Amino acid sequence: MPLSVPVTITLPPIDHSYTVHTDRQRWSADQLIVETDGRAALENAVRENVRKSSTCVFAGLTEADISVTEHPDGSIAMVGRVLCDEADCHTAARRHHLDAAEAIEAKAAADWAAEKHLGLAPGGLRAEKRRSGWTFQERTLFARMSIGIILTAVGAAMSTYDYQRPDNLSGGSLSAVFGQQADKTCNLLAFPTIVAGALFVLFAVISHVTTTRTSKEG
């Protein structure tokens, strides 16, 4: 029976939410003999069920990991599993109430997911699959570029800020002193801020290109 198991792996600083799309089938010796190649037929049936186990596009496109158990009575059990990090799948899977048999399957799936997760290099799952939506690297690029652009804009704003001391103010006015200080500070900080912003954007692009290349090679 195909099943989608929600798994949360707590590995500080963040929780990783996955869904294991899985199917387990056990064919008796008699069932295996019916097919020319019973083993291959069983494996195909399991893969097919994992593919169709949910509306998940990723599960539909990914070859499932297969584990095989041969029993003394000649029967063979196979489990197919796909590790998916789609948020929609996780939410949907959490809504399903597991019965006793499914709970055992879910426990096995969680153990497998933890092992698979640890075996992946950071961002490894992203590298394994390529689908629509932003990758972690693209989000990082966007975040860094936003910071750079904001810094540049703040710097530009500071460079244009000019405090005009009102003529009717007396010499010791606190707001005038504050205004002049702010003006001085702005003049002092404007240029470095713009440079920092520009460097941030440059760094974001360089680091994006480097990490993207590294993950493609790796």
Q: Which parts of this chain interact with Zn ion (CB under 5 A)? A: 19, 56, 84, 86, 89
* Closer to Zn ion by Cβ: residue 82 or 145: 82
Distance, CA of 208 to CA of 187 (rounded, Å) = 32
Q: Name the one residue in this structure whose structure tokens are 């959490």.
A: 94
Helix (H), strand (E) at residue 86: none
What is the smallest separation between the CB atom of 79 and Zn ion, expressed in angstroms? 17
Q: Tell me the residue length of the chain.
A: 218
* Closer to Zn ion by Cβ: residue 76 or 82: 82
* Closer to Zn ion by Cβ: residue 19 or 152: 19
Distance, CA of 201 to CA of 216 (rounded, Å) = 23
Q: Name the one residue in this structure whose structure tokens are 């095989």.
A: 68
State the residue number with the nearest CB to Zn ion.
56
Distance, CA of 113 to CA of 193 (rounded, Å) = 45
* Closer to Zn ion by Cβ: residue 23 or 86: 86
State whether the Cα torsion 190-195-196-202 is positive or negative: positive
What is the smallest separation between the CB atom of 60 and Zn ion, expressed in angstroms? 9
What is the smallest separation between the CB atom of 116 and Zn ion, expressed in angstroms? 14
What is the smallest separation between the CB atom of 73 and Zn ion, expressed in angstroms? 34
- Pairs from 26-30 (Cβ < 8 Å, separation ≥ 24): 26/71, 26/75, 26/76, 26/77, 26/78, 27/75, 27/76, 27/77, 28/73, 28/74, 28/75, 29/73, 29/74, 29/75
Classify 5 as helix, strand or coil. strand
**C-beta of residue 208 within 8 angstroms of C-beta of residue 117:** no
* Closer to Zn ion by Cβ: residue 21 or 24: 21
What is the smallest separation between the CB atom of 130 and Zn ion, expressed in angstroms? 15
* Closer to Zn ion by Cβ: residue 66 or 198: 66
What is the smallest separation between the CB atom of 75 and Zn ion, expressed in angstroms? 30
